[in-house]
Amino acid sequence: MPLTNVQARDVQSLLHPYTQLHKLVDTGPLVLEHGKGVFIYDTQGKEYLEGMSGLWCAGLGFGDEELIEAAREQLSRLPYYHLFGGKGMEPAIELAERLKDIAPMPVSKVFYTSSGSEANDTQIKLAWYYNNARGKPQKKKIISRVKAYHGVTVMAASLTGLPGNHRDFDLPVAGVLHTDCPHHYRFGEAGESEAEFVERIAGNLEALIEREGADTIAAFIAEPVMGAGGVIVPPQGYYPRIVEILKANDILFIDDEVINGFGRTGNWWGCQTMGFTPDTISCAKQLTSAYVPLGAVLLPEEMYQAFVEQSRKIGTFGHGFTYGGHPLGCAVGAKALDIYKSRDIVGRVRGLAPQFAARIGRLADHPLVGDVRCSGLVGGVELVADKASRRSFDLTQGVGLACAKACEAEGLILRAIGDTIAICPPMVISAEELDMLFDRLETALDTTEAHVRRENLR
């Protein structure tokens, strides 16, 4: 079909992220026009259930009047200012106080960024700065994990453990190490229980630290439930073992809550769901329900005091962003936290989680599905060429993308991560809308299975 006028204008003007650019020229983009609740609408008027909260982030859905009004009020009062040079603003102060109140560990200070990528990039700079301040200048390496996703800045993309984020970008940079992905279904050995798997990969982490030298390693970074690597829920007992190893080696645990935070897994924070206490936290996305770009780093008193002493020695704390602590973002963030509490969003997620788990669990019987996994209102459906052997499709066959397109045809937007279909609906979704999501996904899976048979992709 020929491109519409708006599609043609898009192709002529935009460079799209995470897109098959060679195909977009012919197909054109799906251009969205407006949204309400859990639904969005394209320029042709077609309705889609937004089953990914945009990019894991619009937790309160679209068109929330309280958030819109909070933004309007702040824009009329103080549309912009900054925190450089000791300046302050009430919205930035208020949001920081509220973040400290709900934090899962003692937090002394909040540092603002514009995104999760910037938050994780900042985490690494601060870990380096901290170790310089305490007289350990060699303690600089960072351990991440295979299939991790931590962003796309040079450092955050290096932390990310996905080949597509490294290839031909000349990444990762030196000093970034990657240890095992805690995905038993894909990386467990034949006959290996989850407990045995945990012990093996924990042992691999210990061996990595010993090989590199604990005195050269600053931090370990992890998402409680891994997002863009395929919605991977680590086995029980994994995080307690990791924390034990890190503490024994004086290595900071950076908790990337960019996807997990603010109720998504059925607690305020994913680390609470997964049963561990980190040293620092990165957050973004649902912090403002994605209505305004905003990220934050939550820091303990010990690190802050080290920064104060370095400022005394150097003359300043030389890090910050033009939009860090933007009053619009902070005002909307504070309102979002109000809404999460007043509407009991955490309780809502917990109430819907059994239905979500039951519906995604039913998909395990589909001939195309090898594994399903979930936590709260986030899940993944892994498509395989052979269920018995767990053999994956060749990624060049594009089976996951075909399934995402089939979902689109059914009026459902989900995301294909390789051949894993990610599901992350707005947390305001109703039980009826959640059934609608899975009904449409089931139809799309049948369509994809027919495509696989027709094209002889097995």
Residues 173-220: pLDDT tens digits? 999 999 999 999 999 999 999 999 999 999 999 999 999 999 999 999
**pLDDT for res 270:** 98
| Residue 56 host element (H or E) | helix 53-56
pLDDT average, residue stretch 266-290: 98
Q: Which fold has domain 66-342?
A: Aspartate Aminotransferase; domain 2 (3.40.640)
Q: Where are the beta strands (DSSP E) in 79-229?
A: 109-113, 141-145, 176-179, 217-222
Domain spans of the chain, in order of start: 31-63+344-454, 66-342
CA-based angle 407:409:414, to the nearest 5? 25
d(CA 72, CA 373): 40
**pLDDT score, position 354:** 98
Helices of type H across 293-430:
301-314, 327-342, 345-362, 399-409
The answer to whether the 31-63+344-454 and 66-342 domains have the same CATH topology is no
- DSSP single-letter state for residue 57: T
**H helical segments located in 78-168:** 90-102, 116-133, 154-159
Contact status, residue 189 vs residue 197, Cβ threshold 8 Å = yes
209: alpha, beta or left, given left = phi > 0 and alpha = psi -120 to 50? alpha
What average pLDDT does the chain have?
Answer: 97
Q: How many CA atoms lie within 13 A of 382 on its CB side?
A: 21
Answer whether 0.85 is exceeded by the pTM: yes
In order of 154, 209, 212, 241, 273, the CA distances from 247 in angstroms are 28, 12, 16, 10, 20
Q: Per-residue pLDDT averaged across 329-351, rounded?
A: 98
Dump pLDDT digits (tens) for 287-336.
999 999 999 999 999 999 999 999 999 999 999 999 999 999 999 999 99
Q: Which one of 3.40.50.1820, 2.70.98.60, 2.40.110.10, 3.90.1150.10 gives the CATH number of domain 31-63+344-454?
A: 3.90.1150.10
pLDDT at 1: 79
User: What local confidence, expressed as pLDDT, does residue 115 receive?
Assistant: 98
C-alpha 295: how far from chain center: 12
Given a cut of 90, whether residue 342 has pLDDT beyond it is yes
Q: Reply yes or no on whether the pLDDT at 431 is more than 90.
A: yes
Name which of 358, 104, 386 is nearest 224 in CA terms.
104
Instruction: Look at strands 252-256 and 176-179 and give their pairing.
Output: unpaired
Over residues 74-86, the pLDDT tens digits come to 999 999 999 999 9
Farthest-apart Cα atoms in the chain, separation: 69
Model pLDDT for residues 113-152, shown as the tens digit of each residue: 999 999 999 999 999 999 999 999 999 999 999 999 999 9
Tokens of 446: 């049948």
Q: Give 256 or 18, the one with higher predicted confidence.
A: 256
User: Looking at residue 399, what is its pLDDT?
Assistant: 98
CA angle, corner 165, sides to 383 and 29, nearest 5? Answer: 70
